[in-house]
Structure 1
């Protein structure tokens, strides 16, 4: 989940760029290529940073353009038409998405001059633009002109303390705001009341996202006091704020008055055993909750002991994420009683809880009572043969299963046959991950046989990486049959980082198969060393398919 910011130029100055209008006109192609490098970053850290020589410009950003009321109607209409024409968007009057566009201070200035011509704007997204930091006041001073705004997204903008103060004042002018995202702005921490102090009873806010904002324990206390006023709140994400665990008592009390809440995310928030009991007392008031994420709280282990009863009352809960929570044997015993009662559960993540390996047989066997389950992630749980057998037997009763991850459970190796009936009956399986499972040649031959008989036809992603014990004959059998997975988009057969092996003649079967897979885009086979003849064949293949298929082999020692 880690991610780093894009680097600025080495001299600290902003390179000349075209106007943001022209950049936006280029549309999704520009943003999508950058988004691949700038997507979710749970380990991002933001710092106050003034952008070199451009800091002198920020003081002059307040627009001197006349407001719409001061401009002749004909002239105003002409400006609007020109603006829409440049953007190439008919609906831009309601949605302005400049997410990850590398806006400069000059771009911000131009955007500010155009805001008066967008009185019906409902969504403004300027996330992942570093130069917003220090210039936000120029936008917030025009906020009253877009009073119909419903969604404001400012994640990862390097907001300064002054930006935070200005935003808090500006939010008075947008009473219909329904979504606010300030994630990955470290200066929100310690200053949260300055932003949200004007949220009063009757606020229309539906979504509040404050991921990795360096929130303090005092901020957590404030959130707890604020929650009863947010009677329309449906999504609350406080993830990766490790200091709010100490104020969870206040937050839990506030949650008792948040009856409309549907999503609660507290990933990596420093939760403890006591936290589980505090939250459990609030669950009885959260009858609409659909998603609960308590993952990556390593001190939480033991909190589910003594059977917290209210979790089982969440009859609409569809997603439960408890990965990397150091669950104890006692937790597993309690969850064995709770999880099968969550009849609406569709996604369950218990990954990276290694004590499950010897204690989860009963829990896994009772998953059969969750027929709506579509995603089951249980990788790296140190499963033993008995627990894997229980899981395999239960999985036959999960007809809706679309995602199954068993990676990093060594007991799967040599025992994949236990899943044979599930693999044959699963008509919905889209993702199958068996990375580092100590698979042997017989396992991959079994998988090839299942594919050959027409099963797994819906499979889109298959991960067999880090299974170094499979011989060339096994890979040959697999590659001769993989072409039957017509919906496959990603395949990974990479070797472990410490292992390099010569690629056998089976690679030709793989190349042939890929030409018959209409949806394939990514083939991972890192650390397989191609001999010169196969390297030449791959180069020829790349020339013919460079626009659609990427072979990531990196086979060089």
Structure 2
């Protein structure tokens, strides 16, 4: 016990409060001044009677002066250290106070101030605090649209955070002057790896103000440039800068609708980014010749794992000649071609190439409404993609023949976790074709069957077969074709879906139906499930008692129930019940 007390006294003696530090500093200064005065007095009253004695005294005095000077230097160093310590303590206090005003916790390495309503004045205060954050590695100022035009006030102080690796400035209304200042400050942050400038639409035509300052040896690996209004001039400037970005691994150019105007200048320069793993060009205005232009550089992108060319409607027909370039992407894991208006010729070419992508894990062909009748062969060859985990085929107009072919292929995809088949009407009444071939050990986690014209029999099959035991998310929205008896049977037997966390059975916006015939079965299901965390019931009519029952249940079981109030006194409105 005595030993513990002595250890506590020793620890407490080693800890000095700021007040004690100040007192010690004053004492040291006073002692130094007194010593200087003593030395001066000794010099003034030095005797000269005996030359030998005077010489000895002079030697002693000089030695004393040297010792005093050494002590004085050491004490000045110590006082300087104390000053720095006091400054650091006070500075960190300022940092904590600034963050507390914004409702944030202080962190020496990560500063996340996204959506904090920062103003130019706040930015000035933040800039003055960077000197007290030498270990800062991540700075997020995204979604503060009042700091646009004032970024230079911050960038001139970036030399204090030279370890910065991640800088996020999305949706800050940045101007050409802002990115110029950022470019000028790149030398202060040589370790920068991730930069986000997305959703700053004023940068269109001005990207060169930033790229001009990129230098060889740049360590940037992630670059987000979404929705900047980039033009052909910007495409050329970015292409030229790729020569000094050999470490680039992710480049997101999505939602720059005029970027394709400069694709001829940009695409060839991708050959310098041999480490690129992710290329996103969603909604970039790509045209028929764009696929061929991009394809010519795919041979250099040997590390590419994710390719997103979605929502480029004008590429229709371009895969007839350009699809062969995809075969060179040996490590491709994700291919997104949704809403590209693919036609029969595109599908014929892709059918020959996609099965060669043996590493493919995600394939999205959704919203290509004209491929349903010609997808049979493509679906049958999916069996050659054993690593496929996610297949998205919503709104593809799949024919019954193609659907049967898809079901056969899915039976041989043991790793499949996510399947989207929404808005394909052929599934209604035929869901058993898919469910019957799923192995009992199926790893399917997500199944979306929105607006598939499902029947009572389909819902019966969903809960009667035991091959969906791992299912976590089930989307049955907009299936107004299911009768009350079908919903009643579904909820009476839904306990077979023991891992289900999200279930949505909402009706179409134009539909209203009474849920009373099966509400008691729903309550029984909710009482018996332990995994469910979210339930969608939009546009099902609920009585006051039913509403109160759901609210009480959601509070006691930590479930979000989304429904619409149906009381006459209240108009239709979305009212999710959220319980933390």
- Provide TM-score, normalisation by structure 2: 0.80
Give, in whole Å, the separation in 1 of the partners of 2:525 and 2:564. Answer: 17
Partner SS for 1:132: coil
Q: 1:158 aligns with which of 158, 173, 176?
A: 173
Partner of 1:27: none
Contact 2:414 2:443 in 1 (8 A): yes
Give, in whole Å, the separation in 2 of the partners of 1:519 and 1:155. Answer: 36
Is the aligned partner of 1:514 residue 2:526? Answer: yes
Partner of 1:188: 203
Give, in whole Å, the separation in 1 of the partners of 2:159 and 2:243. Answer: 27
Shift of 1:267: 0.3
Q: 2:251 aligns with which of 236, 257, 261?
A: 236
Unpaired runs of 5+ residues, structure 2, are: 1-79, 573-580
Give, in whole Å, the separation in 2 of the partners of 1:128 and 1:474. Answer: 46
Contact 1:183 1:211 in 2 (8 A): yes
Q: 2:340 aligns with which of 302, 306, 325?
A: 325
Partner SS for 1:305: helix
Partner SS for 1:195: helix
Give, in whole Å, the separation in 1 of the partners of 2:174 and 2:521. Answer: 53
Contact 1:355 1:381 in 2 (8 A): yes
Partner of 1:428: 443
Give, in whole Å, the separation in 2 of the partners of 1:532 and 1:97. Answer: 43
Partner of 2:429: 414
Deviations 1:174-218 (A, max 9, x none): 222111110000112111010121112321110111000111111
Give, in whole Å, the separation in 2 of the partners of 1:202 and 1:128. Answer: 30
Number of residues paired by the alignment? 485
Partner of 2:90: 79
Give, in whole Å, the separation in 2 of the partners of 1:424 and 1:475. Answer: 25
Shift of 1:418: 0.7
Partner of 2:538: 526
Greater radius of gyration (CA): 2
Contact 2:535 2:559 in 1 (8 A): no
Root-mean-square deviation over aligned CA pairs: 2.2
Give, in whole Å, the separation in 1 of the partners of 2:175 and 2:288. Answer: 35
Partner of 1:7: none
Partner of 2:184: 169
Partner SS for 2:300: coil
Q: 2:368 aligns with which of 353, 371, 394?
A: 353
Q: 2:559 aligns with which of 519, 531, 548?
A: 548
Deviations 1:265-321 (A, max 9, x none): 000000011000011111011000010000000001111103532211211101100
Unpaired runs of 5+ residues, structure 1, are: 1-68
Shift of 1:427: 2.8
Contact 2:292 2:322 in 1 (8 A): no
Partner of 1:505: 517
Partner of 1:38: none
Partner of 1:456: 468
1:25-104, aligned counterparts within 5 Å?
A: 72-82=83-93, 92-104=107-119
Q: 2:234 aligns with which of 219, 238, 259?
A: 219
Higher helix proportion = 2
Contact 1:520 1:549 in 2 (8 A): no
Give, in whole Å, the separation in 2 of the partners of 1:480 and 1:316. Answer: 46
Shift of 1:420: 1.7
Contact 2:366 2:396 in 1 (8 A): yes
Give, in whole Å, the separation in 2 of the partners of 1:222 and 1:307. Answer: 26
Partner of 1:49: none
